[in-house]
Amino acid sequence: MSQHATRPLPTTFDTPTAGEVLAAHLDVRLAAEPELQSRIGIIRDAFGGRIAFSSSLGVEDQAVLHAIADARADIDVFTLDTGRHFAETLETLDATERRYGRRIRLIAPAAEATEALVARDGVLGFRLSLENRKTCCDVRKVQPLRRALEGAAGWITGLRREQSAGRATVPFAAYDATLGLMKLNPIADWSQAAVEDYAARNEIPVNPLHAKGFPSIGCAPCTRAIEPGEDVRAGRWWWEQEDGKECGLHNRPKTVVSTNGATR
């Protein structure tokens, strides 16, 4: 264990209240540690069970992966293979595996569900309605994510507060009652400039689309470059008018815990 080691947290949580209490404790510890590699060490040492990191291969997640590799932390790294990635994203995946000498697990959507979705809505049917698009995201991303996280004690992400208004209050640690695990955001307080500087200093593989006006990169049919002055997520599902657009990976309804431990 590292110098930050403490008694490991439980791999499961008996009640949502217990999970929230532990999340609050971990949130304070992570906020007090300025170094990313040390934050990764704190996370790994805090849990006795499997910790999983879901990478989108965007620059934020590449920074987190670098810190995981630097810390030699035993963390399961995977990415969601939606079947709709840009060629540049796949090239970034290959470069990343070669840079760090490790395989990144590919989690694919269920073939039967994907075939049924396309048979019902068509190959670009997700552009016809918000319901269609959210169903596509659910089949290609949300359901595979849930499968990849089964049995994990913690889930690491590259979420940052600066990314959008909807993420402005992202904590370092939060208990996800739906998944029954701790959600951990070790670069929640980083600025875009800090991410880019970290990537440059450490010669981290970066998706070339970032330099072409794509600050947020998702599936190819659903992502475009943004114009100067646009929100960083304006290029995602650009045909929609809904504010705070998300795919469902990070914006599921939260369980509200009252002071007597009841949920509502």
Q: What amino acid positions are annotated as catalytic residues?
A: 247
Q: Taking a C-beta distance cutoff of 8 angstroms, is the pair 204, 66 a contact? A: yes
The whole-angstrom separation of Cα 37 and Cα 55 is 17
Closest CA to 53 of 36, 34, 31: 36
Strands (E), the chain: 51-54, 76-80, 105-107, 154-156, 173-176, 181-184
Closest CA to 167 of 80, 232, 212: 232
Q: Taking a C-beta distance cutoff of 8 angstroms, is the pair 88, 208 a contact? A: yes
DSSP 195-251: HHHHHHHTT----GGGGGT-SS---GGGB-PPPTTS-TTTTBTTT---SS---SSS-
- Residue 184: strand pairing partners: 156, 173
Instruction: Count how many residues are written for the chain.
Output: 264
Question: Quick one: tokens of 134?
Answer: 């959210």
Compute the 3-state secondary structure of the chain and give helix, strand, coil in percent, each to the nearest 5: 40, 10, 45
Tokens 């599902």 appear where?
237
In sequence order, which residues have a C-beta less than 8 Å from that of residue 200 and are 6 or more positions away? Answer: none
